[in-house]
Structure 1
Amino acid sequence: MKRLAVLILAAVCGLGGVAWGQPRKPRIAVGGLVAESNSLYPRANPMRESSPVSREEWLHAAAVANTVPSGIVEAAGKLGLDVYPVLRAGASSLGYVEKSSFDEKLNELVRQIKTASPPYDGVILVQHGAMVVDGYPQGDAEVVHRVRQAMGRPFPIVVTHDFHSNVCQEIVDDSDVLITYKENPHLDPKQRGIQAATIIAGMIRGSIKPVQAIARPPMIVNIVYQDTFHAPYKPLVDESRRLERTNPKILAVSVPGGYQWGDVPALGPSVIVVTDNDRALAEREAKRLSDMLWALRDRLVFRAPDAAAAVKDAMAATSFPVVLMDTGDNIGGGSAGDGTTLLGELLRQKAQGWVVVIADAEANRAAFQAGIGGAFSQMVGGKTDRMHGDPVRVTGRVKALHDGKYVETEVRHGGGRYKDMGRTSVIEAEGSTLDLPNLLLLTDHPTSPDSLHQLISNGVYPQRQRILVAKGTTAPRAAYEPVAARIVEVNTPGATDINPARFTYKHVRRPLFGVD
């Protein structure tokens, strides 16, 4: 991006310490509280601090990943910034965040930023953007508000968000810059980290003065339409890139799609435009892109086959594999990963050549007790609740056992590299043939299907199968599209049911297209 390159050059030329009459490099804190809260699910989750690591360990981990901190660390070396990790904490997605643990962690985050010696010159808050806390519907906004209260102005606060963020006016008011991922699947976190570091460097140097504006059309964009690499959402993302590339006054344009399982007033997509001291331009372009979103609404009417129809259609396909997205049990969206709707339907219709992954530690223990080659007959899945189907009897033999760890070497959704599912077992289920085995992969922990190595590391080769079930909606596409003949989003029940009509929203704006 031309604008980004100019900012980097300007920052490098001015961040050597002499520009401020001080011998040290500017010090930037990087941290935050992260949760993608499915607040439609009635459960409180504690906010837990990430395992403490040294700065050196943090820098190394960032260097080998594709995350927002990866981009910040890479850019910092070129920009003359010293970056330091401060508190990082997170909470489970299935439910909302419990208030007392949130307050405790947030107070500690603020303390670490405020009392640092030497003092920090700015902070990049790496947040998700869809956190709901008991007492704070817009949890991310509360984080930024308290940091702003503690540090005052003009202390630079740059915020990064996931694409699935519900952005409110308050967080835009309290932050200097808010940037969200452009891509879904999320392949660009590192680029957003570079962008955030570049902008905060320019702020500290005094070469730019960011102002920002937000516009929010009265709608939701159903997650099945949030694939930014295809229409209808792709043209909007393309326009955001064009503005950043061609207008030197525009520092960042974000077009997050929203997170439809957050029952909050800010539910829905938004447009955030950051300019160099041109508020009118920011407001004008935010409104224009918001109007582009609103104009898409006739193409966003919810449609998706149910499990029975999807399995029947996949069995009749002539090109394979067909990937069935188990959208109601979307692990990345906060579900438990033990939904049985599609598994039960595959067994009922006597499909062959399928692969299903289920998080079920109890059934997995039974597989380990049986050992490789041992008989297996267990009730599988459906144990977290009854939203995702009942437990299903699976009979077969144990084909493989594994430690559940694997490495993703490609850039995939979220940018992570090292994965750990807990122990895993592969069950060759009833109805298998040598050419078309039916394979059930059991895991101890739910793990979002963002990598084919989840299967390959367990001796399951997706290209050889006819039907692959992935518990997600859009996120798995980056991994599965290279091998899939077709990908189908299936309307399965669960905590992440993609049909808004199955939920009762109490706190959203009304009327809201896609809900009303």
Structure 2
Amino acid sequence: MSILIAGFQHETNTFAPTKADYEKFVHGGGYPPLSRGSELDAIKEMNIPLGGFMKQAEEYGYDLIPVLWAGAAPSAHVTEDAYERICSEILDAVQSNLAALQGVYLDLHGAMVCEHLDDGEGELLARVRALIGNDMPLVASLDLHANVTDLMLESASVLVTYRTYPHVDMADSGLRSAIEMHALLNGEKRYLSYKHWPFLTSINAQCTFIDPAKSTIEFMEQLEKNVASISLTTGFPASDFEGCGGTVWGYGTDQLNIDTAVNILYQRILDDEALWDVAFLSPEEAVAKAIELSKDAKKPVIIADTQDNPGAGGDSNTMGLIKALLAAKATNTAVGLITDPKSVAIAIEAGIGNNVELALGGCDSVPEDSPLVATFKVENISDGCCQYDGPMMNGVKVSVGPTVCLAIDGLKIVACSDKAQMLDRNLFKQAGVIPEDMGIVVVKSSVHFRADFQPIAKEILIAKSPGPLTVDPADIPWKHLKKGIRLKPHGREF
């Protein structure tokens, strides 16, 4: 039996400053670069859904037809050109191999919004379904932050999601997708049941290392013992369209049984609604607390600069938290990554050991933000290449372009040319900074950093410094949400 496999991932913050064009997918931006055909074999050893699916499907003895895998760093809308070019490759491959196919697997994100359409994954799944007909299994894996739409659920045979945030189980979700594909190909029936969450919640509240997300996932897995598959997504609360929000769904061999399980999980989420809210520290509060906690500490205090998280659409260049650190005279502090190719080029030209005048960073779309104009010492220059060794995306090789370590008044700032979320300690180490040796470490991330940084942290603080990613959904200037959805737990309705 032959299964066609492909991946197309993007998490879209419709309020972000920069769009994802085709070249962003070619480069990858912290993900593997666009890969085709036999190049997908390299993904098999990575913590990526497609890799998990490939391993399990090959164990079952299926022949795989690899098409492509494309992913780009979260940003504003995917351009029409990028979406249609990548979709066309997938659809052309489906069409040309149709006579030999028994199934199709897609490694998707679930929160893709494009210039010309709101529901990128729903549209792709519907186009594939139109080609393969109603009977062929079409299975897809989704991110925990997917905004799961009716079109996605109606087009796919089965949808499976990650169950961790940070996403340390991406390959496992691909494996579970292969198990569901195997069941479908062996004639098992799947009945669908689903409910959409009636409220939005901040991405910071969705971390499965802590409650309520942790206990909710555990509760879901207990329910799954009595059904074929059950999933939930917390949604990506920065995609301004009617399908934005969390969803609970599942599949069973009996409609009543799966309806019951989904209703129980949905009610659990409603009962815990207040727990899905989260509080934040101001930059000044976070810095003051970090300085106090770091005194005589043997582990660094980690501050998450969550509103400039490039993993959710930020450009990783705001200076608010750095200015707060300098004002408080923080020392033995590392900050990363700051994306500023112009400043990096100037620093490289100046050379290691030399001082250089820079206007570092600054996000034009954030009125409260501005560049840091100062003199920096160039401490290190690197090519920006490394391999992730942490639990998330383990084994993935990335490049953030030419990179420098800039020193100023007790701070070591790692500045790079291409943005990537600080989710692995090797992104610091490739620039000569050892985060374990620092007193305070500031990361441009919201939650993913926890996978590799939490084991070395004395404490983790979440700072709400001005940035393009508004982490409290009640503060976002929504225009297109579904009427009646609450903008935060027990908050006002849209």
Distance in 2 (CA, whole Å) between partners of 1:227 and 1:339 is: 24
Which segment is superposed worse, 396-405 or 83-92?
83-92
Paired amino acid for 2:212: P
Aligned-residue offset at 1:40: 2.2
Query: 2:95 matched to 1:122?
Result: no
Note closer, same or farther for the CA distance 1:121–1:212 as it changes in structure 2 (3 Å cut). Answer: same
Aligned-residue offset at 1:117: 6.3
Per-residue CA deviation, residues 8-44 of structure 1 (Å, 9 max, x unaligned), is xxxxxxxxxxxxxxxxxx1111114321110123665
Instruction: Indicate the SS of the match to 1:400.
Output: strand
Aligned to 1:152: 133
Aligned-residue offset at 1:230: 1.4
Distance in 1 (CA, whole Å) between partners of 2:199 and 2:98 is: 46
Aligned to 2:163: 182
Paired amino acid for 1:356: V
Q: CA RMSD in A?
A: 2.0
Q: 2:2 aligns with which of 16, 19, 27?
A: 27
Query: 2:419 matched to 1:446?
Result: yes
Alignment TM-score, normalising by the size of structure 2: 0.92
Aligned to 1:296: 272
Q: 1:198 aligns with which of 179, 182, 188?
A: 179
Aligned-residue offset at 1:446: 1.0
Which segment is superposed worse, 90-99 or 161-170?
90-99
Aligned residues: 478
Per-residue CA deviation, residues 114-135 of structure 1 (Å, 9 max, x unaligned), is 2216522111111100011234
Superposition map of 1:360-379 within 5 A:
360-379=340-359
Distance in 2 (CA, whole Å) between partners of 1:426 and 1:286 is: 50
Aligned to 2:199: 219
Q: 1:311 aligns with which of 287, 295, 300?
A: 287
Paired amino acid for 1:460: V
Superposition map of 1:470-509 within 5 A:
470-509=443-482
Instruction: Indicate the SS of the match to 2:414.
Output: strand
Aligned to 1:97: 78
Aligned-residue offset at 1:102: 2.2
Query: 2:186 matched to 1:209?
Result: no
Instruction: Indicate the SS of the match to 1:316.
Output: helix
Aligned to 1:465: 438
The question of whether the paired residues in 2 share the 8 Å contact of 1:382 and 1:388 is answered with no
Gaps of 5+ in 2: 27-32
Q: 1:267 aligns with which of 244, 247, 253?
A: 244
Aligned to 2:53: 72
Instruction: Indicate the SS of the match to 1:473.
Output: coil
Distance in 2 (CA, whole Å) between partners of 1:57 and 1:88 is: 9
Instruction: Indicate the SS of the match to 1:469.
Output: strand
Paired amino acid for 1:376: V
Query: 2:21 matched to 1:46?
Result: yes
Aligned-residue offset at 1:396: 3.0
Paired amino acid for 2:2: R
Q: 2:112 aligns with which of 131, 151, 164?
A: 131
Note closer, same or farther for the CA distance 1:462–1:491 as it changes in structure 2 (3 Å cut). Answer: same
Compare CA radii of gyration and give the structure with the larger one. 1
Aligned to 2:91: 110
Aligned-residue identity in percent = 25
Aligned to 2:377: 397
Paired amino acid for 2:290: A
Distance in 2 (CA, whole Å) between partners of 1:202 and 1:398 is: 57
Query: 2:207 matched to 1:231?
Result: no
Distance in 1 (CA, whole Å) between partners of 2:73 and 2:390 is: 26
Superposition map of 1:303-342 within 5 A:
303-317=279-293, 318=295, 319=297, 320-342=299-321
Distance in 2 (CA, whole Å) between partners of 1:141 and 1:104 is: 17
Distance in 2 (CA, whole Å) between partners of 1:135 and 1:453 is: 37
Per-residue CA deviation, residues 460-493 of structure 1 (Å, 9 max, x unaligned), is 1112211111111111100110111111111122
Distance in 2 (CA, whole Å) between partners of 1:377 and 1:502 is: 36
Distance in 2 (CA, whole Å) between partners of 1:43 and 1:331 is: 11
Paired amino acid for 1:271: V
Aligned-residue offset at 1:322: 1.2
Instruction: Indicate the SS of the match to 1:121.
Output: strand
Aligned-residue offset at 1:502: 2.9
Gaps of 5+ in 1: 1-25, 433-437
Instruction: Indicate the SS of the match to 2:228.
Output: strand
Aligned to 2:30: none
Alignment TM-score, normalising by the size of structure 1: 0.88
Q: 1:84 aligns with which of 44, 49, 65?
A: 65
Aligned to 1:350: 329
Distance in 1 (CA, whole Å) between partners of 2:412 and 2:165 is: 29
